[in-house]
């Protein structure tokens, strides 16, 4: 059935005119665009709209991939990513009897032995799992998240199909190296496979709860580890006001301004203090705590969390500070130093580009600027300089957009910058604190000593290898030229073969009739 799925995937590339977008980027494959009769029915739709239709037709796991793509503003045009943000992976629930059987298998005993009550009607269902309410024998109200049956096999099959489609696209599109197709697919595979291990989600929730111990601003549900496993999580049932219900939030007697500001403080603490942030803060996962004395939030679903390298956190803090101060020359220098753009980038041209992207903010009060959207503009404008950032930084950008958007919905006058500037000033000052440097040395002393011990030998090897490398450079260059010529011939042959496969697969699919992706 994998061949049928592949034929369907290829046919739909024609059906939604996506093959034309790929074909027009290479002369050899333009023929594919000319023979596509479906193109004329979709040519008035944008690329983003057609890509959304394609992913929806391919099923829930492709939709989930589209959601990940919607965050990749470093690779895709914002007109495409804005359309992809419409995708939702809500799915019909699976049979409750199967859910009960899976829960009992994970528990190693019957439902009745652990729970005094169990609601067979799920309260939520998505592409990978669904959620049921229950009550433990001690009276604790809980929710149980349980994976869909055979979901791992389905995910593996779909990822193989995606990788093959990605291989075809990489041959058809000249710009495929910049798009980093194989890397994006690998990131997606890692993300989904992590989501299929619910012990990881449980550990993420426990870790976040520990970071906010004694801090009521963020409530994290308690995880009942003794009942949780790779296939199910049993956690405390929590409640709150949906963050989209603005009128209800206002009626609850909360301090609206303080509530919005606390959302920003939680974000900054997670990124800079804890270096561990909730990376899926969409409205379905974030609620407002009803307790008016706290003005805080309740967060659920810790399947996707992010963490930055120390260097990325440092550069991010300095970048935010440069934006606050509207220092675009320093901002350009930071993009190059952080290796987010090509090393040979002209700093003057980059500064002009960043200034242009930020032109709307130059004459605006800082309190009126939405930093999440501004970051989106910066990444979009610098793609022509070979923008390449870590997936965790992309997740951070997505999280920031959600947090800031939610805060401004609650309190339109939210001053993100006014809260962020003193926080970042203090955090950056702490990075040069002698006690912090001594702590770093103490924590990494063995690694530092090991590297120091090898330093003299490494210097000698470097000097010796320099002469050898200099002599072999010319012969190596000749070898590279010959290899490149051979690769170009193979690439031309590959494109002809792929064109035949695309046409043949589509014909087979049409002849066999429409099949559901299995």
What pLDDT band is residue 517 in, cutting at 50, 70 and 90? very low
**Residue 372, exposed/middle/buried by CB under 10 A (0-12, 13-18, 19+)?**
middle
What pLDDT band is residue 162 in, cutting at 50, 70 and 90? confident
Lowest mean pLDDT across 166-170, 183-187, 406-410: 166-170
Lowest mean pLDDT across 271-275, 307-311, 487-491: 487-491
Q: Compute the C-alpha angle 37/43/48, nearest 5°.
A: 120
pLDDT of residue 133: 95
Mean pLDDT of the region 106-120: 93
pLDDT of residue 515: 42
Catalytic residue list = 280
* Residue, of 518 and 148, whose pLDDT is higher: 148
* Residue, of 480 and 71, whose pLDDT is higher: 71
Q: Reply yes or no on whether the pLDDT at 492 is more than 60.
A: no
For 259-297, b where at least 16 C-beta lie within 10 A, e where not — what string? bbbbbbbbbbbbbbeebbbbbbbeebbbbbbeeeebbbb
- Calculate what percentage of the chain has a pLDDT beyond 70: 75
Question: Would residue 9 be called left, alpha or beta, if left means φ above 0 and alpha means ψ between -120 and 50 degrees?
Answer: alpha
| pLDDT digits 0-9 by tens, 191-232 | 888 888 999 999 999 999 999 998 999 999 999 999 999 999
Backbone angles phi, psi at 109, to 5 degrees: -160, 180
Q: Determine the Cα–Cα distance for residues 95 and 129; give it in Å rounded to an integer.
A: 12
Helices (H), 304-433: 310-324, 328-337, 347-357, 359-362, 371-381, 391-410, 416-431
Q: Which tokens in the block code for residue 414?
A: 């939210």
β-strands 277-278, 305-306: how paired? antiparallel
Q: Determine the Cα–Cα distance for residues 148 and 355; give it in Å rounded to an integer.
A: 49
Q: Reply yes or no on whether the pLDDT at 450 is more than 80.
A: no
* Residue, of 421 and 467, whose pLDDT is higher: 421
Q: Which tokens in the block code for residue 258?
A: 């303080």
Lowest mean pLDDT across 169-183, 374-388, 430-444, 475-489: 475-489
pLDDT of residue 482: 58
Lowest mean pLDDT across 165-169, 239-243, 451-455: 451-455
Q: Determine the Cα–Cα distance for residues 284 and 295; give it in Å rounded to an integer.
A: 19
Q: Determine the Cα–Cα distance for residues 388 and 179; give it in Å rounded to an integer.
A: 10
What pLDDT band is residue 29 in, cutting at 50, 70 and 90? low
Mean pLDDT of the region 402-424: 85
Q: Compute the C-alpha angle 45/46/51, nearest 5°.
A: 100
- Residue 44 CB partners (closer than 8 Å, separation 6+): none
Mean pLDDT of the region 255-280: 91
Identify the residue whose tokens are 């002809």: 496
* Residue, of 91 and 351, whose pLDDT is higher: 351
Q: Determine the Cα–Cα distance for residues 115 and 142; give it in Å rounded to an integer.
A: 9
pLDDT of residue 209: 95
Identify the residue whose tokens are 């130059």: 362
C-alpha neighbours within 13 Å on the C-beta side of residue 9: 22
Mean pLDDT of the region 281-289: 85
- When the pLDDT of each residue in the chain is averaged and rounded to a whole number, the result is 80
Q: Are 22 and 169 in contact (CB under 8 A)?
A: yes
pLDDT of residue 356: 87
Q: Determine the Cα–Cα distance for residues 76 and 175; give it in Å rounded to an integer.
A: 11
> Where are the strands (E) in 73-140, listed by range?
115-118, 124-125, 129-136
pLDDT of residue 132: 95
Q: Which one, of 235, 237, 234, 243, lies nearest residue 266 by Cα?
A: 243
pLDDT of residue 499: 55
Mean pLDDT of the region 263-292: 89
The model's pTM: 0.75
């Amino acid at each position: 059935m994998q061949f049928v799925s592949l034929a369907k995937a290829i046919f739909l590339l024609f059906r939604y005119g996506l093959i034309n977008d790929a074909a027009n980027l290479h002369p050899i494959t333009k023929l594919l665009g000319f023979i596509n009769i479906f193109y004329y029915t979709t040519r008035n739709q944008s690329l983003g709209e057609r890509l959304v239709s394609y992913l929806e037709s391919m099923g829930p796991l492709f939709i989930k991939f589209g959601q990940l793509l919607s965050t990749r503003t470093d690779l895709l045009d914002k007109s495409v990513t804005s359309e992809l943000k419409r995708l939702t992976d809500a799915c019909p629930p699976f049979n409750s009897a199967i859910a009960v059987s899976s829960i009992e298998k994970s528990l190693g005993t019957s439902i009745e032995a652990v729970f005094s009550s169990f609601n067979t009607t799920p309260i939520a269902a998505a592409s990978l799992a669904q959620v049921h309410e229950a009550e433990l024998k001690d009276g604790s109200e809980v929710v149980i998240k349980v994976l869909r049956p055979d979901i791992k096999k389905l995910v593996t099959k779909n990822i193989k199909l995606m990788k093959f489609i990605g291989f075809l696209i990489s041959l058809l599109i000249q710009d495929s190296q910049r798009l980093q197709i194989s890397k994006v697919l690998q990131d997606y595979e890692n993300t989904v496979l992590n989501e299929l291990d619910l012990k990881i989600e449980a550990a993420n929730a426990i870790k976040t709860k520990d970071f906010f111990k004694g801090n009521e601003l963020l409530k994290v549900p308690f995880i009942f580890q003794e009942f949780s496993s790779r296939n199910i999580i049993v956690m405390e049932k929590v409640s709150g006001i949906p963050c989209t219900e603005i009128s209800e939030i206002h009626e609850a007697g909360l301090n609206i301004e303080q509530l919005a500001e606390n959302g920003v403080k939680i974000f900054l603490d997670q990124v800079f203090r804890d270096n561990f942030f909730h990376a899926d803060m969409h409205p379905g996962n974030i609620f407002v705590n009803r307790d008016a004395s706290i003005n805080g939030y309740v967060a659920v679903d810790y399947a996707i969390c992010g963490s930055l390298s120390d260097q990325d956190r440092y550069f991010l803090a300095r970048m935010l500070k440069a934006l606050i101060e509207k220092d675009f020359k320093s901002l350009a220098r930071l993009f190059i130093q952080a290796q987010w753009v090509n090393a040979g980038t002209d700093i003057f041209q980059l500064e002009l580009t960043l200034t242009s992207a930020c032109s709307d903010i130059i004459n605006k009060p800082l309190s009126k600027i939405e930093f999440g959207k501004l970051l989106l503009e910066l990444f979009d404008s610098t793609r022509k300089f070979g923008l390449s950032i870590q997936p965790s930084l992309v997740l951070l950008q997505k999280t920031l957009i959600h947090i800031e958007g939610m805060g401004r919905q609650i309190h339109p006058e939210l001053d993100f910058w006014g809260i962020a500037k003193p926080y970042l000033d203090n955090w950056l000052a702490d990075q040069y604190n002698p006690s912090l440097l001594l702590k770093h040395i103490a924590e990494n002393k063995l690694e530092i000593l090991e590297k120091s011990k090898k330093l003299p030998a490494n210097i000698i090897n470097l000097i010796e290898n320099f002469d050898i490398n200099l002599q072999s450079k010319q012969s190596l260059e000749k070898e590279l030229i010959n290899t490149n010529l051979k690769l170009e011939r193979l690439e031309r042959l590959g494109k002809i073969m792929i064109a035949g496969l695309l046409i043949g697969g589509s014909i087979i699919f049409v002849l066999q009739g429409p099949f559901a992706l299995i």
